[in-house]
Amino acid sequence: MERKKIIIIGNGMVSYKFCEKFATKSQNFDIQVFGEESRRAYDRVHLTEFFNGQSAEDLSLCKENWYSDNGIELYLGDPIIKIDRDRKMVYSAKGKQLSYDYLIMATGSAPFVPSIVGIDKEGVFVYRTIDDLEKIKAYALNARKGTVIGGGLLGLEAAKALIDLDLEETHVVEFAPRLMPRQIDEQASGILQNKLSDLGLQVLLNKETIKIEGEDSIHSLQFRDGSELRTEMLVISAGIRPRDELARDCGLEIGARGGVVVNKYMQTSDPDVFAIGECALFDDSIYGLVAPGYEMAEVAINKLIGTPKSFKSFDMSTKLKLIGVDVASFGDPFIAEPDARTIVFENKLKGIYKRMNISNDGKHLMGGVLIGDASAYNLLLQTVTNKILLPPNPEDLIIEATEKKSSAAGIIGLPDDALICSCEGVTKGAICSAVTDQKCESIDAIKKFTKAGTGCGGCIPMVKDLMVHTMKQNGKYIRNVVCEHFDLSRQELYDLIRIHELDNYNDVLDNLGKGDGCEICKPLVSSLLASIWNEMILKKGNDTSQDSNDRYLANIQKGGSYSVVPRIPGGEITPEKLIVIGNVAHKYGLYTKITGGQRIDMFGAHVNDLPFIWEELIAAGFESGHAYGKGLRTVKSCVGSTWCRFGLHDSVSFAIQIEERYKGLRAPHKYKSAVSGCIRECAEAQSKDFGIIATERGWNLYVCGNGGSKPQHAQLLASDIDSETCIRYIDRFLMFYIKTADPLTRTATWLNKMDGGIEYLRNVILNDSLNMAKQWEYEMDQFVLSYACEWKAAVEDPEVRKKFNHFVNAPEERDPSVKFEEMRGQKKAANWSAVAI
């Protein structure tokens, strides 16, 4: 039987997915792919990662030899420039003339560039390809102010790129009266705009750009309302248009506003020519997301191999993190009265907005919007997609959604054909079948077998919940093991290290694990060893298993330098010690800043200088602040009764006592504390992992709060207790947390996942329901007695000190790639792009 020939025009994500899927379904075709760019297909969804250190190779969707290994001919940098449908021939820019039996048009889209006077000036860019990004990156080296035209998804992605390039000012200009007008409503847009403004992004709405001013290069934008915006570079990201010019030239049917018209099998007006992805127009719609493009590829393949399936209108629900802010919309986000009833939850303090659009009979969810907290997105999307009946109080789905409830609570009741991974079209039934029939009992195994979670990754929490539920149904005992090298949970590993008296990573691996270890278990085991034995973390060969921060007892910062943070218990410091910090910072040329935890951070230290800096600080009575470790960071305090007329107790003294007791205690995650002298709460104790607030009869102890990207209020553990009882409860709380929490789990998340919640925790800590209180208090006392400053140990041990030479054969030489620039009378790390050049 003669092999059929398929030619694919375009080499983007959808083209690659067509090839990948086809390779698993049929070997009876010869496939040739022509790409306009000189690179293999790469991940456009995560294109902004290019500005966070990802290379073009990192973003590539496959290895260099993948196409040839799968019998596919790939022609890069050689676009097809003509199609002759009568002769079934294509002609490439480099002179190739090839025949085809079937033609797949995966030409994608191009940026929409508005007709603005001066659009061709130097410093004006589009945001679409890696080549575009490289040009933006190079130009930004000599620019201070950047602007993006377009406040939609693509525009905000481009704005994120400019922020990552450390421009002093970044503006977004949007023609519409709100950001993301196609995805979110006016209230959500307002919340999003406020959050982006807090991050330094300036937004201009209702602005139509009519002219780009400047001689050869851009220096400002002129708006129709007469206003002006100074800028030194401009990125156009105002939407896309389908690349349909080839199809138009060869006589295929084109939509009124562009796009190659296709039927439900992705066939164009010529049944031997298919169109998939952003160039295809189905039912008068162009789909600008990758998931529908992947589904189109699947539909076209099935038609070619004789097992036809139909393409249907695709759900455009989406969840993104734009410049660090969760943004999601699902179902119909705009439907409103009288066609639906709306429930809105808004917290302007935390920048959270949630909207649910519910059918008038109250039975079904029709759509909605999430800003600031999208943890409930997966469950809400499945509720819409599968027409699941709403509970009696549907507002609980958004008001009380927690990490624990967000996916597991409703996923079990979904039908088998519920689409869990929209990128790859993987259903609940397929995932459960993979676990039961194929013994896929890890996320990696499920990814490999089903491809679920290999696209945007947003479905991973649901995939994990399904995997665990199915394994339990099959009678499997579920163990949360550390990694493939240790078939043990963190808690089991903690106990076995103590029982076997193992004190370095290699011994732990030899006795309790297998293989060579990995980047997951190495820092985890090292943290356990530090928690259990309280020894210098760089001794006994443990330094090579640490991450960079612990290995050098300092935080590595942008540009390759390090920061030094001495401990300042309770935020109290003498004038003499302030002078020492000033002298050290001046001597070694360090940038200084007061931290949020009432300490002084010194940035820009060369690794060679660290021991010398530490020696001078130690001589003045300072010690390590452990800013680099998974341990206690700070105990913040107000001035309390010492100075404040509202203060009930001496919060500073108690904060110092607390910090001195727990300094250096390693844990699954960093943790913070605070002591407030009255209910006015100036130390913000209720946002800490454990916080203490003075009352007229003693102290209130709060636990399991945190700030950060997902802030959570601490919960009251005990009321009106004396100082001694308070410390005893903290001893128990911290030891319980250290022994039972999963790696990299904060106290808030630990409590959220704990069966019984705060009541159970209160029973364990206050009532000693586990009969462990005396043991935990004894272990904490032993830790306090054995504490030693890691900086001091490092500078006094010649062998450890050698590790802080950048060049082994030239100990005095500094890293020449570490560069700085002046900023407001101090220094800052030079832009990494400048360093690379």
Separation between Cα atoms, residue 539 and residue 535, nearest integer Å: 8
Give the DSSP H or E segment for 717: strand 715-721
How much is the pLDDT for 815? 79
How far from 484 is each of 163, 821, 824, CA to CA, in Å?
38, 44, 49
Q: For the chain, how many residues are written?
A: 837
How far from 815 is each of 134, 563, 587, 805, CA to CA, in Å?
26, 15, 18, 10
Sequence-separated (6 or more) residues with CB below 8 Å from residue 399: 345, 354
Cα 489–chain centre separation: 25
How far from 831 is each of 137, 323, 559, 835, CA to CA, in Å?
10, 19, 7, 7
Which residues face 71 on adjacent strands? none
Q: What angle do CA 729, 731, 734 make, to 5 degrees?
A: 105
pLDDT < 50 positions in the chain: 401-409, 544-545, 833-837
Tokens of 178: 């709100």
Which residue matches tokens 């945190």?
A: 706
Sequence-separated (6 or more) residues with CB below 8 Å from residue 296: 14, 266, 276, 277, 280, 282, 287, 311
Cα 795–chain centre separation: 36
Separation between Cα atoms, residue 346 and residue 364, nearest integer Å: 22
Separation between Cα atoms, residue 294 and residue 16, nearest integer Å: 9
- Are 452 and 467 in contact by the 8 Å Cβ rule? The answer is no
- Are 650 and 677 in contact by the 8 Å Cβ rule? The answer is yes
Pairing of strands 209-213, 102-105: unpaired
How much is the pLDDT for 18? 95
Q: Per the confidence metrics, is the pTM higher than 0.75?
A: no
Dihedral angle over CA of 730, 731, 734, 739, nearest 10: -150
Separation between Cα atoms, residue 344 and residue 398, nearest integer Å: 9
Dihedral angle over CA of 740, 744, 746, 747, nearest 10: 10
Separation between Cα atoms, residue 220 and residue 404, nearest integer Å: 49
How much is the pLDDT for 403? 40
State residue 233 phi and psi, 5-degree precision: -155, 150
Tokens of 478: 């579920």
Separation between Cα atoms, residue 370 and residue 68, nearest integer Å: 44
Separation between Cα atoms, residue 638 and residue 655, nearest integer Å: 9
How much is the pLDDT for 731? 97
How much is the pLDDT for 47? 83
State residue 502 phi and psi, 5-degree precision: -90, 135
Separation between Cα atoms, residue 148 and residue 125, nearest integer Å: 9
SS3 274: strand
- Are 441 and 468 in contact by the 8 Å Cβ rule? The answer is no
Which residue matches tokens 């290699």?
A: 506
- Are 818 and 830 in contact by the 8 Å Cβ rule? The answer is no
Separation between Cα atoms, residue 563 and residue 490, nearest integer Å: 30
SS3 14: helix
Which residue matches tokens 């004006």?
A: 124
SS3 251: coil
SS3 194: helix
Q: Let me know if 398 is exposed, middle or buried by CB neighbors in 10 A (0-12, 13-18, 19+).
A: buried
Cβ neighbours around 364 below 10 Å, total:
18
Which of 529, 526, 535 lies closest to 788 in space, CA to CA? Answer: 535
Separation between Cα atoms, residue 187 and residue 166, nearest integer Å: 30
The single-letter DSSP state of residue 609 is G
**Half-sphere exposure of residue 552, counting CA atoms within 13 Å on the CB side?**
21
- Are 481 and 488 in contact by the 8 Å Cβ rule? The answer is yes
Which residues face 600 on adjacent strands? 594
SS3 5: strand
Q: What is the largest CA-CA distance in the chain?
A: 94
How far from 25 is each of 18, 21, 302, 362, 427, CA to CA, in Å?
11, 7, 9, 44, 19
How much is the pLDDT for 550? 67
Amino acid letter, residue 96? K
Separation between Cα atoms, residue 400 and residue 395, nearest integer Å: 8
Sequence-separated (6 or more) residues with CB below 8 Å from residue 166: 831
Separation between Cα atoms, residue 362 and residue 810, nearest integer Å: 74
- Are 422 and 291 in contact by the 8 Å Cβ rule? The answer is yes
pLDDT tens for each residue of 614-628: 999 999 999 999 988
The single-letter DSSP state of residue 744 is T
Tokens of 187: 């209230």
Sign of CA dihedral 732, 738, 740, 746: positive
- Are 184 and 270 in contact by the 8 Å Cβ rule? The answer is no
How much is the pLDDT for 539? 62
Sequence-separated (6 or more) residues with CB below 8 Å from residue 100: 5, 6, 7, 88, 89, 90, 272
Q: What angle do CA 188, 190, 192 make, to 5 degrees?
A: 70
Which residues face 341 on adjacent strands? 358
Q: Let me know if 643 is exposed, middle or buried by CB neighbors in 10 A (0-12, 13-18, 19+).
A: exposed
Sequence-separated (6 or more) residues with CB below 8 Å from residue 89: 83, 97, 98, 99, 100
The single-letter DSSP state of residue 388 is P
Separation between Cα atoms, residue 687 and residue 695, nearest integer Å: 18
**Half-sphere exposure of residue 358, counting CA atoms within 13 Å on the CB side?**
20
Q: Let me know if 491 is exposed, middle or buried by CB neighbors in 10 A (0-12, 13-18, 19+).
A: middle
Three-state secondary structure string covering 110-173: EECCCCCECCCCECEEECCCHHHHHHHHHHHHHCCEEEEECCCHHHHHHHHHHHHCCCCEEEEE
- Are 192 and 184 in contact by the 8 Å Cβ rule? The answer is yes
SS3 90: strand
